[in-house]
Structure 1
Amino acid sequence: MQSSLDCITVERIIADRQELFELTVFAPGVGTKNKIINNQVHRPGLALSGFIERFSYKRSQILGETELAYIRTFDSDKLKTVLRRLFS
């Protein structure tokens, strides 16, 4: 079991760093009590294009401007398919 020093909640990150990191909360209150216990992050650019052979599921997924710009090119069916593949 992780001690409180080994993890942080999503809620705490939002409260402490939302402005600094320019975070956008798309679903307020959803998942905010989740604990992040791995300090490594992953930018899933290749996974968005379908390559998930070495996808880092245990890391926090960070979608930056590049990933978001690419996602905006998807129609709704492709978006659903890609997001299900990444987050299931």
Structure 2
Amino acid sequence: MRITLPTKKGLANTNPEIDFEQLVIVGANGSGKTRFGSRIEENNLKKVHRISAQKSLSFPAEVSPKSKERATKEFLYGYYQENKTEQQQLNNK
């Protein structure tokens, strides 16, 4: 993908272009990362998928990840029993 960068304040009207397959934007708080990413996304809706940064990529010790199946059944039925069908789970309520 090719984008034209905005003109930097104080420089002549030279709009450099960059060509890339993946782009990672890093900068200080308030430096315009979100606005820049939004602008790229607006101008290239069918080519861009923007992912915001994650503040924490680790789980606290007291959190236990579960399978989607187990989490769904615990949500729907209030408990999970590995060898029971959905109908059996409903009948046990």
Alignment TM class, shorter chain as reference:
under 0.3
Going by fraction, where is helix more abundant, 1 or 2?
Answer: 1
Normalised by the size of structure 2, how large is the TM-score?
Answer: 0.22
Of the two structures, which has the highest relative contact order with CA contacts closer than 8 Å and spacing of 6 or more?
1
